[in-house]
Amino acid sequence: MPSVIQILQQAESLLLERRVDSPRLSAQLLLANVLHLSRLDLLFAKDQILSSAQVQSFNCLLDRRLTGEPVAYLLGTKEFFGLSFSVDSRVLIPRPETEEMIEHLQKLFATDASFFFADLGTGSGALAVTIASLFPHSRGLAVDISLEALDVARTNALQHNAASRLLFVNADFLDSFKSETLDLIVTNPPYVTEDEYAALSHEVAGFEPRLALVSGPKGLECLQAIERCARMVLKPGGRFFAEIGYLQGPDARELFCSWSACTVLRDLSGKERIVSAVK
């Protein structure tokens, strides 16, 4: 049977040959999962000999990774803002850029603030569950048109003891909620154009739900629907945050020009990423 270092080297070269993203990291994460070790501990255990059951489990995961399936789906979890979220092919894998929206909220609201919010297009519940966890006096609506996504979001809310303060709503962005009831709307809507979708990597387009990614020919259709909805349902002075595509800043500014304090915030890599506005 191979040692940890041998199986890692073999897997890395196979992944490299198939041009799978991050071959070394992928191999390490999958093997660490099979051996129930952290990535760091795995590197300390490089001479450990694997059992045949361990080799078999690893090879099953490796075969799937070789097709381009994302590591997060293979492991069934993804970390978001320090919390572990269950993920599978029913939901978008939460991205690090989206975590930056939470940092902006932490600057805006005290930990003990009491507010009512909606996460439009909640997917795995990454935003809604994180907000409910960080602000224990908040209550929120986790909205998604996909019933399957809402099942995943509910599981994550239960896992992080946030389910009692979240209501899971199966609705379209276009549906009207009760007017002027919300203090905050957060959203990471689909914002990829049809053309961009055709050019996305196989690891994204081949595995993540199209419904979570594509917003129509211009990529702005969901944001436009959300802006109309947000104008109705936010209280005067209510806050709005939406993630956008990095080239959509000018369109977002125009869309929110009648709102107060519309700003487009840049992400850590300097790209325009979040539109923030006040009703």
Ligand X SMILES: C[S@@+](CC[C@H](N)C(=O)[O-])C[C@H]1O[C@@H](n2cnc3c(N)ncnc32)[C@H](O)[C@@H]1O
* Pair of tokens at residue 226: 């959300």
Among 184, 212, 223, 234, binds ligand X (CB under 6 A): 212
Q: Is 193 in the site for ligand X (CB under 6 A)?
A: no
Min CB(211)–ligand X separation in Å? 5
- The stretch among 41-49, 67-75, 139-147, 256-264 that binds ligand X (CB under 6 A) is 139-147
- The stretch among 57-65, 87-95, 102-110, 258-266 that binds ligand X (CB under 6 A) is 87-95
Q: Is 146 in the site for ligand X (CB under 6 A)?
A: yes
Q: Which is nearer to ligand X, 97 or 251 (CB)?
A: 97
Q: What does the H/E/C string look like for 85-115?
A: EECCCCCCCCCHHHHHHHHHHHHHCCCCCCC
Measured CA to CA in angstroms, residue 228 lies from 123, 142, 174, 232 at distances of: 21, 18, 8, 7
Looking only at the bridges linking them, the beta strands covering 116-120 and 139-144 are parallel
Among 12, 100, 144, 272, binds ligand X (CB under 6 A): 144
Query: CA–CA separation, 167 vs 165, rounded Å?
Result: 7
Amino acid at the residue 230: A
Among 157, 195, 189, smallest CA distance to 174 is for 189
The torsion angles phi and psi of 140, rounded to 5 degrees, stand at -150, 165
Measured CA to CA in angstroms, residue 246 lies from 159, 251, 269 at distances of: 32, 11, 10
Among 29, 31, 126, 141, binds ligand X (CB under 6 A): 126
Q: Is 94 in the site for ligand X (CB under 6 A)?
A: yes
Q: Is 177 in the site for ligand X (CB under 6 A)?
A: no
Q: Which is nearer to ligand X, 127 or 166 (CB)?
A: 127
The helix/strand/coil state of 2 is coil
Query: CA–CA separation, 97 vs 99, rounded Å?
Result: 5
Counting every residue, how long is the chain? Answer: 279
Among 26, 28, 33, 188, binds ligand X (CB under 6 A): 188
208 near 121, Cβ under 8 Å? no
Min CB(212)–ligand X separation in Å? 4
Q: Which is nearer to ligand X, 109 or 241 (CB)?
A: 241
Among 26, 33, 124, 193, binds ligand X (CB under 6 A): 124
Among 23, 70, 190, 219, binds ligand X (CB under 6 A): 190
Q: Which is nearer to ligand X, 31 or 152 (CB)?
A: 152
Q: Is 20 in the site for ligand X (CB under 6 A)?
A: no
Classify the C-alpha dihedral 45-82-159-212 as positive or negative: negative
Q: Is 26 in the site for ligand X (CB under 6 A)?
A: no
Q: Is 204 in the site for ligand X (CB under 6 A)?
A: no
Site residues for ligand X per CB under 6 A: 91-92, 94, 98, 121-124, 126-127, 143-146, 149, 172-173, 188-190, 211-212, 222
